[in-house]
Structure 1
Amino acid sequence: MNHTILRMKEIEKAFNGITVLDKVNFEVKTGEVHALMGGNGAGKSTLMKILTGVYQLDEGSIEIDGEYQQFSNPSDAEKVGVSMIFQEFSLIPKLTVAQNIYLHYEPRKAFGMINDKKMVSDSRKIIADMGISISPNDLVENISLGYWQMTEIAKALSKNTKILIMDEPTSTLTKSETKTLFSIIRRLKESGITIIYISHRMDEIFEVCDRITVLRNGTNVITASCADITMEALINNIVGGSMGQSLKWIERPIKENRKPILEVKHLQSGSRVKDVSFTLYEGEILGMAGLMGSGRSETVRAVFGVDAISGGEVHVRGSKKLIFSPKEAIQEGLGLVPEDRRSQGLVLEHSVKENTILPSLGALSRRQIIQNSQADEKVEALVKKLKVKTDDIHKTVSLLSGGNQQKLVLAKWLLNDTDILILDEPTSGVDIGAKAEIVEIIREIADSGKAVLVVSSEMTELLAMSDRILIMKDGEITSSIDRKEIKGEEEVERAIQVEK
């Protein structure tokens, strides 16, 4: 691993006069797994888009295998062996695995006809080299999300990739699928393929990566071997200071005579919510843990009126409620931060202000006309309170980082003065600094007397904020554990895994 396959020197990039990358240097060795880390907005994505030809650099140079490169588009980068697997899948569900692997690059026979036999044969070889069991003839819509990720990797390898960039590759994977992915990464590494690994999950970095480069505010902070840096030191380099108690559990006082605000009794919905019962109290942060597919997201979608309820009851403030739509849920004082903030929680083409006021249009209008001065004042106050990084409240939401987008989804419900806030994976895909800020915001919401239900696969964050944790398995709540009785993540993991 002595040979340096990639050198990016003194890279500069600005948009509309705002510097995003300031003389960034980035070097990667052949056959290593190199983590690229930093907070949302640190410049990671911009640097990788320059490497893959999506953006063109303003100043600096790129060397691959000792040769200077200039990329005008992604095809230029692919020709020299640079490929990227993005967080959002690029597969077509109605096509087979093989057809997706060779999409736009299909092998041809005479007269330009697609050589299906060769395409399937070549796909089978790539899949075998990866060490996974999947048929090239399977339709993508019929395979698990884990195999979608593996198909994306196979697609990149079909282009004779030498440098493979993975952006949050485990965000949709189960624990077993993540282990399979790490096994594939190690096989790729042994074959000489270099991997640039982007993730906010600290434990993954130390498990699978060799070295780490941290960016902050568009500049280099540190490059170090994983063996030579502690997790605490890494976090401090990412956020530019100590995290303090943000991601450590602080016992919150339980108010006497607190009342149930949300009661779910024997809820049934679809095939994954079979018999769910729980109670959420005023001022409580109630966590919900379970494996992917256990029915957690489907449960909160049903409570919020997104999915139809086929059995059971929902009580709000002691009264039975029939909630058939999100509109009716909002009228009862519920708010949902969905798992996929980009497609379900925000209108990306709209501004910060327009997204924030959506649930509160009635309260901010007189005679069906929005009172813009009042709306501006309230949105600006929330942006300041939640520390949303934006030029102004009229900026398009799609231009914000993931952490700031997530804060805006929270801001919507704070402006609407929601009493029952349901959060589905609130810290997914955001950097460690934003995670800490979101945990603090959730604590403040509960301290004000509002109730919070949190679904999360991020065990560290779930344990840091919850007063009580529900264990969900196969569409049912199997146990409820007071946080003060939990000594560590392992206890919750065991509870999730045990049979009912």
Structure 2
Amino acid sequence: MSTTPEPVLKATGISKYFPGAIALDDVSLTLHAGEIHALLGENGAGKSTLIKCLTGAYKKDAGTILLEGKEINPRDPQSSLALGIGTVYQEVNLLPNMTVAENLFLGWQPMRFGMINNREMVRRSKQVLSEFGLEIDPTLLLSSYPIAIQQVIAIARAVELAGKVLILDEPTASLDRDEIDLLFSVIRKLTERGMAVVFITHFLDQVFEISDKATVLRNGRVVGTRTLADVTQTEIVTMMLGRQLEALERKGNGKQVGDTILELERVGRRGDIEPFDLILHEGEVVGLAGLLGSGRSETANLIFGAAPADQGSMKLRGKPVRLDNPRSTIRLGFGLCPEDRKTEGIVGDLSVRENIILSLQARRGWTRPITRSRAQKIAEDYVKKLDIRLASLDMPIRLLSGGNQQKALLARWLATEPDILILDEPTRGIDVGAHAEIIELIQSLQEQGMALIVASSELEELIIYSSRIIVLRDRRQVKELSGDDISIGAIVQSIAEEEVANQ
């Protein structure tokens, strides 16, 4: 922990606006020398936007940034680096076809008689690397070393160029435990040298293992900053999700479920999701709860065949099946509304009508095209049923509001009359009215006997319509809740891996 009274970096009142959205609203962050400061929040919380404002990738619309007491306004990441702020991302942003030494000194190579002094560059590279605990050959190509070593090399370069503040954005996402230990030892050495480190990750265990403080963002605003020695993981999870540990009334879950429709036994995908069991019944909603990176989307994509399982067995209505690609799962009666509707769901330049019939056409096969008149009738029916607000079915779907885009995606799958519908964050980023309508639709589909799997960070929603809730953490299932055991408190404490109160 820092004993320096003056912060190395102090950002105050940072705001950033995009058309129709406030990405950051009066955000402040203070970093001290020798401190590891975690920056936490779910998708869309504002972490990336804040980092881009601090490093000049975005121009902030309001606020001030003080570096060692002097106001700075970096124009771009290069000017930020020159001022003393370095950033290392999950995907190593170096050149694998160049040597380690060339990567370390790219842009500031030692020169002799107007030419690059390779001997001096190699000598200085060895010296720099040894300070980071790496005794490797800097004349070899960067690609000859594992990702963890490449991460340390990227950090070494950033530190040598910056030297005051180091921002690490998801640096451990693709590392195993030994590699994480190596990285953490490097980070600790940097703080001993007086550097301030920002650590962005969705692995809470790692946050508590290495960080001194944490600032939590939600919906573009700071929820709070905490000294981690004084709080529990449950408190941090609650801050991130914006939930209090109190049960809300659950509705519509006394309904008797129907026959078993899907059985998964020890199904998993190496590197994505650990093996799990799942039994799904007609007229049942199974909720998937967990923080960003817990495995919610990976589970949804695995069941749909978008990222097929490489282990385990599957049965659909008692018969063995392989869910190994979306085309086959669509024909078997599955549908999936993905988390990122703009890049993985809608086809922005196609009309609303064309987007609605897309999955039905794929299910029929492209040799049996749906006629224009039938497509119009299908689209009109679902526009009316789901109250999709639009000027014309011919308009590009990208021109619709977020809520209406989401309802059009739901219409796409409902047109196929699926037996199993998988929804990944179905109410994210939509207005309050559409939000309520989609929740009512989920309840209506359940009452009609459809089986649904819903992955969501909106815990109030999950506990209202879910028959059961599977809690995930670090890409594995850690708890299954049903009946009276379903509550926000039980979910949050399961995520935090702490003993559930009164159990």
Alignment TM-score, normalising by the size of structure 2: 0.62
Kindly, what percent of the aligned residue pairs are identical? 31
Matched AA of 1:78: L
Q: Deviations over 1:373-392 (max 9, x none)?
A: 5566677779xxxxxxxxx9
Secondary structure of 1:214 counterpart: strand
1:208 maps onto 2:207 in alignment = no
Give the Cα separation in 2 of the matches to 1:422 and 1:406: 13
Paired residues, what number?
450
Q: CA deviation at 1:19?
A: 4.0
Contact 1:347 1:355 in 2 (8 A): no
Q: Deviations over 1:51-108 (max 9, x none)?
A: 1011122333221112221211111101011112234443445455545444555555
Q: CA deviation at 1:194?
A: 0.7
Which of 64, 67, 71 does residue 74 from structure 2 map onto?
71
Instruction: Tell me the residue number matched to 2:361.
Output: 362
Q: Deviations over 1:383-402 (max 9, x none)?
A: xxxxxxxxx973699xx9xx
- Between 275-284 and 236-245, the greater mean CA deviation after superposition: 275-284
Superposed CA RMSD in Å reads: 6.2
Give the Cα separation in 2 of the matches to 1:165 and 1:157: 10
Secondary structure of 2:87 counterpart: strand
Contact 2:388 2:408 in 1 (8 A): no
Matched AA of 2:305: F
Task: Check 1:303–1:148 CA distance in 2 against 1; reply closer, same or farther (3 A cut).
Answer: farther
Give the Cα separation in 1 of the matches to 2:329 and 2:183: 39
Secondary structure of 1:329 counterpart: helix
Contact 1:350 1:396 in 2 (8 A): no
Q: CA deviation at 1:482?
A: 8.4
Contact 1:6 1:63 in 2 (8 A): yes
Secondary structure of 2:361 counterpart: coil
Q: CA deviation at 1:5?
A: 0.7
1:53 maps onto 2:52 in alignment = no
Instruction: Tell me the residue number matched to 1:130.
Output: 132
Alignment of 1:153-172 (within 5 A): 153-172=155-174
Instruction: Tell me the residue number matched to 1:194.
Output: 196
Task: Check 1:160–1:445 CA distance in 2 against 1; reply closer, same or farther (3 A cut).
Answer: farther
Give the Cα separation in 2 of the matches to 1:118 and 1:17: 53
Which of 13, 33, 38 does residue 35 from structure 1 map onto?
38
Give the Cα separation in 2 of the matches to 1:240 and 1:277: 30
Between structure 1 and structure 2, the one with the greater Rg is 2
Alignment of 1:279-298 (within 5 A): 283=284
Q: Deviations over 1:29-50 (max 9, x none)?
A: 1121122334443433222211
Instruction: Tell me the residue number matched to 1:477.
Output: none
Instruction: Tell me the residue number matched to 1:150.
Output: 152
Task: Check 1:152–1:325 CA distance in 2 against 1; reply closer, same or farther (3 A cut).
Answer: same
Unaligned runs of 5+ in 1: 247-251, 383-391, 431-436, 459-463, 470-479, 493-500
Contact 1:341 1:406 in 2 (8 A): no
Q: CA deviation at 1:22?
A: 3.6
Task: Check 1:83–1:254 CA distance in 2 against 1; reply closer, same or farther (3 A cut).
Answer: farther
Instruction: Tell me the residue number matched to 2:227.
Output: 225
Q: CA deviation at 1:354?
A: 9.8
Instruction: Tell me the residue number matched to 1:304.
Output: 305
Task: Check 1:21–1:467 CA distance in 2 against 1; reply closer, same or farther (3 A cut).
Answer: closer
- Between 17-26 and 63-72, the greater mean CA deviation after superposition: 17-26
Matched AA of 1:394: R
Alignment of 1:105-144 (within 5 A): 105-108=108-111, 110-113=113-116, 115=118, 117-131=119-133, 136=138, 137=140, 139-140=142-143, 143-144=146-147
Q: CA deviation at 1:447?
A: 6.6
Instruction: Tell me the residue number matched to 2:393.
Output: none
Which of 82, 88, 93 does residue 90 from structure 1 map onto?
93
Secondary structure of 2:226 counterpart: strand
Contact 1:351 1:396 in 2 (8 A): no
Task: Check 1:265–1:25 CA distance in 2 against 1; reply closer, same or farther (3 A cut).
Answer: closer
Q: CA deviation at 1:164?
A: 1.0
Matched AA of 1:304: G
Give the Cα separation in 1 of the matches to 2:180 and 2:468: 29
Matched AA of 1:360: S
Matched AA of 2:33: T
Task: Check 1:378–1:353 CA distance in 2 against 1; reply closer, same or farther (3 A cut).
Answer: farther
Task: Check 1:189–1:396 CA distance in 2 against 1; reply closer, same or farther (3 A cut).
Answer: farther
Instruction: Tell me the residue number matched to 2:316.
Output: 316
Give the Cα separation in 2 of the matches to 1:284 and 1:81: 51
